[in-house]
Amino acid sequence: MKYIKLGTTGLDVSPIAIGAMTYGDPDRGHPVWSKGEEEARPLIKHALEAGINFFDTANMYSNGSSEEILGRALKDFANRDDIVIATKLRHPMRPGPNGRGLSRKAIMTEIDHSLERLGTDYIDLYQIHRNDHSTPLEETLEALNDLVKMGKVRYIGASSMHAWEFAKALHLQKQHGWARFVTMQHHYNLLAREEEREMIPLCLDEGVGTVIWSPLARGRLARPFERAKTSARSKTDGDYADMLYSPAEEEANHAIIDAVGKIADARGVSRAQIALAWLRSKPVVTAPLVGANFIEQINDAVASLEIELTEDEIRVLQAPYTPRYDWQGIYDEAELDAIRKRVPGMELK
């Protein structure tokens, strides 16, 4: 494994990260596709043996059990100083006031809960899991800075938001001398390239590394178009998956998936390897998050690191893409309502 720097930091990470949303107690999360501890541990161990040292989870995944399972496995199988643990916060963790969000109170509470579940005394990369439009951004950023100064967090990162929001956050951090976001975890793959408009150029200009969620478009890029929605995840995502990969763009999606298949067949490799190799051809991408359910998926991800796509292959993969956009990719309805109230006359649908 050849390690790379996380953005412009000095931190060495594998160019493949394991997304631990897949791992969690099925009774506390996703009964159809969550891998319980007995199934998850061999996968985490195999990833470590393959040289992967970058693991991403979140407090909300399976209501905290993802962090618990990952923490116990990493403690048993790895040297803490060699691995990079990333987790996130913002989404609801309990009912009632202050059970969600990015207030100072929520941040100071949730970091301690995550540290306990992960069985560690520090988080390498602590990320805000989307923005919290009900909390002043300055409050959130100062609290995150304090976590870094306290030694509970080494680096901080953000996730899917509008580029103007991310630019504002980076500006405030610079203005106040606060710890800076070093990563952006966002949605980017051959079927979802809208981030190329503003977010990716911003990250390139600011030296921010990107960590990619859904790099295989919920499995759509790993199988023929006719079987695009046959994964357990695709079957249970419902309207959310359709929102991300709109049926209105089905013709373009079909052509892209077919192109992935043709290049994979010509090279004698899997479709997943081609889709991941395409991401690696983008200089802003630090690592895709691979939610591996099987050993073979980890092997595929590692094998993709050996593939260098030609300019012609990249052109063929990218040519059929058509623009698509939806506010819901970033905001939920409650947040949209909050923005409408704060900015009278703004039309958001």
* Domain coverage including residue 92: 4-342
Task: Tell me if 24 is assigned to some domain.
Answer: yes
CATH number, position 141: 3.20.20.100
Q: How far apart are CA 237 and CA 213, in angstroms?
A: 15
**Six token digits for residue 314:** 């990249």
What SS3 class is residue 213?
strand
Residue 26 lies in a domain: yes
| Domain count for the chain | 1
Q: Is residue 51 part of a domain?
A: yes
Catalytic residue numbers read 61
pLDDT tens for 173-220 read 999 999 999 999 999 999 999 999 999 999 999 999 999 999 999 899
Q: Please give the average per-residue pLDDT across 327-344, as a whole number.
A: 57
> pLDDT-derived band of residue 328, with 50, 70 and 90 as boundaries?
very low
CB 253 within 8 A of CB 229: no
> H or E segment at 182?
strand 181-187
317, two tokens: 């993969």
- 108 assigned to some structural domain: yes
Residue 163 lies in a domain: yes
Taking only the tens place, the pLDDT of each residue in 112-159 is 999 999 999 999 999 999 999 999 999 999 999 999 999 999 999 999
Backbone dihedral angles phi then psi of residue 159, each to the nearest 5 degrees = -140, 180
Residues in the chain: 349
Convert the pLDDT of each residue in 56-96 to its tens digit: 999 999 999 999 999 999 999 999 999 999 999 999 899 98
The pLDDT of residue 341 is above 70: no
Residue 349 inside a domain? The answer is no
Q: Is 348 a domain residue?
A: no
Task: Tell me what percent of the chain is helix, strand and coil, each rounded to the nearest 5.
Answer: 50, 15, 35
Residue 347 lies in a domain: no
pLDDT of residue 227: 78
pLDDT of residue 90: 96
Contact 73, 63 (CB under 8 A): no
Side-chain half-sphere CA neighbours of 159 within 13 A? 27
The C-alpha atoms of residue 118 and residue 124 are separated, in whole angstroms, by 12
Q: What is the Cα–Cα distance from 32 to 238, expressed in whole angstroms?
A: 13
Contact 286, 12 (CB under 8 A): no
pLDDT in tens, 288-299: 999 999 999 999
What mean pLDDT value characterizes the chain?
Answer: 91
